[in-house]
Amino acid sequence: MEITFLEAAFGVKKEVTYARAERCDVCKGTGSDKGSGRKLCPTCGGSGQVRRNSGFFSIASTCPSCGGEGEIIEKPCSECRGAGTVRRSRTITITIPAGIEDGKRLSLASQGDAGANGAQDGDLYVFLRVQPHESFERDGKDVYCAIPISMTQAALGADIVVPTLDQKTVRVSIPPGTQNGRVLRLKGEGIPELHSSTRRGDMYLKIVVRIPTRLNAKARELLKELASSNGEESNPRPIPLSELKQ
Ligand SMILES: [Zn+2]
Ligand SMILES: [Zn+2]
């Protein structure tokens, strides 16, 4: 089953339709027609095994007629042809817990095929695929996104409003002198922890400083003025690479 990024983050109820073997209502799962029962298997005489001679040896194997049970159905149920089960399509609602990750498997007890001869019903396994999100990426319970700011916001600092995972917004203070690529952390704005109602991961904002690509005359003048008042360096020296890794 495929679910969206946010459905995986916050949990969702989903309908799932699948075919499974269900107990036959007509024979109540016995496989026998009404009023008839089981009789000794004529092939193996009730032993459940057949013997085959091969030279000096006699090899025993499971009886193909009764499958080793020693009995067969006298008159098979017309509904299920003696199987005791019939294949039916069914729809159930499943609860996908908040915080589930891509590729995980949900196991639903007794929602699989009906057990033969009174055995327990099998389980249903649902494999989950989580669609990627346009703006958010997760690593466990932490979430990453990229937020663009202008070069003046980066230089002067600014209060910006960014969207959170739960469709709300949060005010973030960009400190003056913020460099491109700086990462800010929003505590508790990540993915809810699986099977916990309170704990959540964090959200990391990677700041992307946008340099203007088109300047009008006014902006060009202002920037030139700024450049000359700064006395800009025309022969910069390389930055120690260790500085970039901070
Ligand atoms: Zn039946
Ligand atoms: Zn048999």
Q: State pLDDT tens for residues 126-171.
A: 999 999 999 999 999 999 999 999 999 999 999 999 999 998 999 9
pTM: 0.76
pLDDT of residue 157: 97
pLDDT of residue 246: 59
Which ligand is nearest the CA of 83, by number? Answer: 1
* Pairing of β 38-40 and β 124-127: unpaired
For ligand 1, the distance from its centroid to the CA atom of residue 30, given in whole angstroms, is 7
Burial 5-34 (b: 16+ CB within 10 A, else e): bbbbbbbbeeeeeeebbbbbeebebbbbbe
For ligand 1, the distance from its centroid to the CA atom of residue 57, given in whole angstroms, is 41
Domains of the chain, CATH where assigned: 2-30+84-130 (2.60.260.20), 137-216 (2.60.260.20)
**What would the pLDDT profile of 75-111 be if each residue is shown by its tens digit?**
989 998 888 899 999 999 999 999 999 999 999 999 9
